Amino acid sequence: MNKVFSNKPIWIAGIVMGLIGLILVLTYWFYFRDSFIVKNSDDNIDAKLTITPTVSETATSIPSITQIIVTIPPKADMYNTADFINFPISKQQSIGEFAPNDLIILPSLYSTKTIRVSNLIKDDLIKLIDAAKTDGITLKVVSGYRSFGEQKVLFNNYVSNERKSNSSLSEAELEAKANTYSAKPGHSEHQLGTTVDISSSEVNYQLISDENAKYAKWLEENASKYNFTISFEKNNPEYIYEPWHLRWRG
Ligand SMILES: [Zn+2]
């Protein structure tokens, strides 16, 4: 007893040092705990972790915290648009999740809404529309860049519309029907950023497949002067005649 009492300064020092150590550990955890938690990175979002409280359907159990893994498609890489000017795209040939690296918004004078296109085509496009104006034809761009994701939504909408009027058809048959007038995601030239749909005040900026329309004739005769081609000519094997659909070829 006497001996323990005589060692009192030593065990008091031990307790004090233990407390200091504990405070140091807690301080370290408080300031650096974030680095122990795995976070999503904007540069590499393969999966998003969401913590959502859920309540059991039967409501007999205590609400629990459930982890739900939401899978997000890998972020599409940005490509050099110039390398894909003449890339072949068709119903058979996809461009995958290509995304151009040089999109700009067209001046509102030249478009019916906010439209993005590759910077590569801007000058020729403006020259073409100005030249038509000189010839008495008012043209505007009605559609430009369409992302892989936008095409996916569009195509799925067309498929569900077809399903309403053709309930006996299989999913593959419905997709084939929609594919006669709409490209599957990754199969549209609009994904390049170098392709536009152009229409005229003459047809109220609708997409009219009429070879006798003045604007269609003008584009047939003049588009190539500004490095554009009409991708879907009369009797092409892919789609209906699309006098409005112009792809820039550099
Ligand atoms: Zn088009």
Residue-wise pLDDT for 146-158, tens only, equals 999 999 999 999 9
Point out the residues of the chain with pLDDT beneath 50.
1, 33-75
Cα–ligand 1 centroid distance for 16 (angstroms): 77
What token pair was written down for 47?
A: 């999966």
Q: Which residues contact 200 (CB under 8 A, 6 or more apart)?
A: 137, 138, 139, 140, 213, 214, 215
Integer Cα distance of 86 and 3 in angstroms: 94
Q: Distance, CA 141 to ligand 1 centroid (Å)?
A: 10
Rounded to the nearest 10 degrees, the angle between the axes of helix 214-222 and helix 122-134 is 130
Distance 167 CA to ligand 1 centre (A): 28
Between CA 240 and CA 222 the distance in angstroms is 21
Q: How far apart are the first and last CA of the chain?
A: 98
Query: So what's the pLDDT on residue 205?
Result: 96
State the pLDDT at residue 68: 32
If we measure between CA atoms, which residue out of 72, 76, 78 comes closest to residue 40? 72
| Percent of the chain that is helix, strand, coil (3-state, to 5) | 40, 20, 40
Biggest CA-to-CA distance, the chain: 116
The b/e string for 204-243 (b: 16+ C-beta within 10 A; e otherwise) is ebeebeeeebebbebbeeebeebbbebbbeeeeeebebbb
Total length of the chain: 250
* C-alpha to C-alpha distance for 199 and 243, rounded to whole angstroms: 9
Q: What crossing angle do the helices spanning 171-178 and 148-165 adopt, rounded to 10°?
A: 110
The per-residue pLDDT of the chain, averaged, comes to 80
Annotated catalytic, 175? no
- Write down the pLDDT at residue 184: 93
Ligand 1 centroid vs 220 CA: distance in angstroms?
A: 15
CB distance 199 to 206 below 8 Å:
yes
State the catalytic residue, choosing from 57, 220, 238, 242. 242
* pLDDT for residue 38: 33
* 156: enclosing H helix or E strand: helix 148-165
User: What does the alpha-carbon distance between residue 153 and residue 177 come to, in Å, rounded to a whole number?
Assistant: 16
Q: pTM to 2 decimals?
A: 0.67
85-137: per-residue pLDDT in tens? 999 999 989 999 999 989 999 999 999 999 999 999 999 999 999 999 999 99
